[in-house]
Amino acid sequence: MNIETASRQVDALGNPTRLRIYRALVRAGETGAPVGQVQEALGLPASTLSHHLKKLLEVGLIRQERSGTTLHCHAEYPVMRALVGFLVDECCVDEGTNVG
């Protein structure tokens, strides 16, 4: 993980619409959610949603898998883990161990 990759991934989540999309996919869990379902749940026009999905795909935060005619979107948990790891890996080191 480097700062360029991290900032592009963080940037992808920095848009409120994309953050909503991403969290919807996180909630959808292992099976993911079809694009149409996300679209309806968030009330987004197709092209707008597609633009945002593309950005999330580009930075690797989500993945798509075809199942019949529908494309299921999944949150890529390992990528998020790595990103969070990068954000906090030098965080709070001076503050002892009062975690939780």
Minimal distance in Å, beta carbon 51 to DNA? 4
Quote the crossing angle between the two packed helices 16-28 and 35-42, to the nearest 10°. Answer: 130
For residues 61 to 80, the per-residue mask of contacts with DNA, x marking binding by CB under 7 A and - elsewhere, is ---x-x-xxxx---------
Cβ closest to its own copies, residue 3 vs residue 54: 3
Sheet holding 62-67, edge to edge: 33-34, 70-75, 62-67
| Residue from 36, 65, 81, 85 in contact with DNA (CB under 7 A) | 36
